[in-house]
Amino acid sequence: MRIILHFFASAVCIAIVCAQDSFTCVRNVNSCSQSEDQRTTSGQVQRALPGKQGPVGMKGEKGDPGTPDQEQINRLKDRVAFLEKEIQDKSTANQRTTDCPLIAFKFPRYQQITDHVRYRSYFPELPQATICAWIESTEPAASVVPAIMSYAVPGHTNELLIEIGRGRNFRISTNDRLLRKFALSSSKWPYEKIHFCAFYSQPAGVVGLFVNGVLRGTQLVTQSAVSGGGDLVFGQDQDAVNAGGFNPTQAFSGNITNPMIWPRLLTASEISGIVRHCVCPKDYAIVMTLDRVELHGNVEYFIPDVCPTL
Ligand SMILES: [Ca+2]
* Co-location of 128 and 275 in the same domain: yes
CA of 218 to the centre of ligand 1 (A): 23
pLDDT at 254: 96
Say how far apart CA 249 and CA 227 lie, in whole Å.
27
* Co-location of 149 and 35 in the same domain: no
Q: Is residue 290 a part of any domain in this protein?
A: yes
Domain range for 34 is 2-41
**Looking at the 3D structure of the chain, how many domains does it have?**
2
CA of 156 to the centre of ligand 1 (A): 9
β-pairing, 254-262 vs 286-287, is antiparallel
Q: Is residue 64 a part of any domain in this protein?
A: no
Q: Is residue 83 a part of any domain in this protein?
A: no
* Co-location of 198 and 271 in the same domain: yes
CA of 272 to the centre of ligand 1 (A): 31
Q: Residue 127: is the preceding peptide bond cis (ω within 30°)? A: no
For 295, counting Cβ atoms within 10 Å of its Cβ (0-12 exposed, 13-18 middle, 19+ buried), the class is: middle
* Co-location of 147 and 233 in the same domain: yes
Q: Between 2-20 and 25-42, two packed helices, what is the crossing angle to 10 degrees? A: 150
Q: Is residue 164 a part of any domain in this protein?
A: yes
Say how far apart CA 139 and CA 125 lie, in whole Å.
34
Q: For residue 169, list its beta bridge partners.
A: 165, 183
Q: Is residue 60 a part of any domain in this protein?
A: no
* Co-location of 17 and 155 in the same domain: no
Q: Given its phi and psi angles, is residue 231 left (phi above 0), alpha (psi -120 to 50 degrees) or beta?
A: beta
Give the mean pLDDT per block of 10 residues along the chain (310 residues).
42 39 38 38 49 60 66 82 65 56 96 98 98 93 94 98 91 96 82 94 97 96 96 98 97 97 98 96 96 98 94
Using a CB cutoff of 5 Å, list residues around ligand 1, an ion.
157-158, 237, 239
pLDDT at 290: 95
CA of 189 to the centre of ligand 1 (A): 23
Q: Is residue 99 a part of any domain in this protein?
A: no
pLDDT at 33: 39
Q: Contact, 100 vs 161, CB < 8 A?
A: no
Say how far apart CA 229 and CA 227 lie, in whole Å.
7
Dihedral (CA of 26, 27, 32, 34) sign: positive
CATH number at residue 253: 2.60.120.200
Say how far apart CA 71 and CA 74 lie, in whole Å.
5
* Co-location of 162 and 35 in the same domain: no
CA of 239 to the centre of ligand 1 (A): 4
Q: Is residue 58 a part of any domain in this protein?
A: no
CA of 253 to the centre of ligand 1 (A): 17
Q: Is residue 156 a part of any domain in this protein?
A: yes
For 309, counting Cβ atoms within 10 Å of its Cβ (0-12 exposed, 13-18 middle, 19+ buried), the class is: middle
Say how far apart CA 257 and CA 297 lie, in whole Å.
18
CA of 157 to the centre of ligand 1 (A): 5
CA of 150 to the centre of ligand 1 (A): 7
pLDDT at 144: 92
pTM of this prediction exceeds 0.75: no
